[in-house]
Amino acid sequence: MLFNGDYKYIDHEYLYTDKDAGVLLNKQNIKDYKELVAFESLCVANRSEQLLKNPIKIKYGYDLLKIHKFLFQDVYDWADEVRKVEIAKGGRQFLPMHSFNEAFAYIDGLLSELNNIQNLNKKKLAEKLAIILDSINFLHPFREGNGRTQREFIRLLALQKGYKLNLNPIDNHSVYERYMNDTINGNVDDLTDLIYILLK
C-alpha cells in the first residue's frame, strides 16, 4: 500500500512508482518529488493552454484518455492508459478496475443525454454536466491526473454546448475548493449549482 496525501494505492509491483525514490516514474527520470510536481505542473499548464486554442472533440467516455494523453504526454509514458492499481481517497474507494468497461458505457449514455439537451436550457445542462463529472470522478481511471483531466473534459463538453466553464479560476480559489468538496463527497446537487453559476 502506497500513500500520497489522502490517497492510498495498492501497487505491490511498483508499476508506477520508483521503488527507491518514492516518486512516480517519469520520462525525465526525476527523483525528487517537489521537482517532479513543478515539472508536471508546468507541462500540463502549457498543454492546457494549447487545448484552449485547439479543443478536443468529445464524443465518448473514452475520450477522457485522449485528454489525459494530451495533458501528460511530456511527463508519463502511461499517459492515456487506464490505471492498473486500485485507488482510495479519504477512506472512499474509487471504482474497481474490473468495472471500467461498464462505467465507460454508462458515461456514453450520459453524453448521449447531454447531446439531446437544448443549448439554451442552462439548468438541465448544469445538472447533466454535474452527473457526468461525479461519475467520472468516481471512475478515477488514471494513476495520476484525474482531476485535471476531468475538469478539461467537462470544460470541453460545456464548450460544445456553447458555454465557457472554468472549475479552477486563478482569481477565485473558493470555486476550486467547492468543486473539490462536492466531487469528494459526491454532492451532485451542490455541484449542479456551482456549474450553473459558472456557465457563461
Percentage of the chain exceeding pLDDT 70:
94
DSSP bridge pairs for 9: 2, 87
**What superfamily does domain 2-198 belong to in CATH?**
Fido-like domain (1.10.3290.10)
Q: Name the residue type at position 103.
A: A
- The pLDDT assigned to 14 comes to 84
Average pLDDT over residues 20-29: 94
Per domain, the residue ranges of the chain are 2-198
- The pLDDT assigned to 80 comes to 96
> In this predicted structure, which of 1-10, 88-97, 170-179 has the lowest mean pLDDT?
1-10
pLDDT at 93 over 70: yes
pTM: 0.93
pLDDT at 188 over 80: yes
State how far the Cα of 108 lies from the Cα of 114, in Å rounded to an integer: 10
DSSP bridge pairs for 7: 4, 89
Nearest residue to 90 (alpha-carbon basis) of 140, 152, 48: 140
- The pLDDT assigned to 61 comes to 97
- The pLDDT assigned to 2 comes to 43
State how far the Cα of 110 lies from the Cα of 188, in Å rounded to an integer: 14
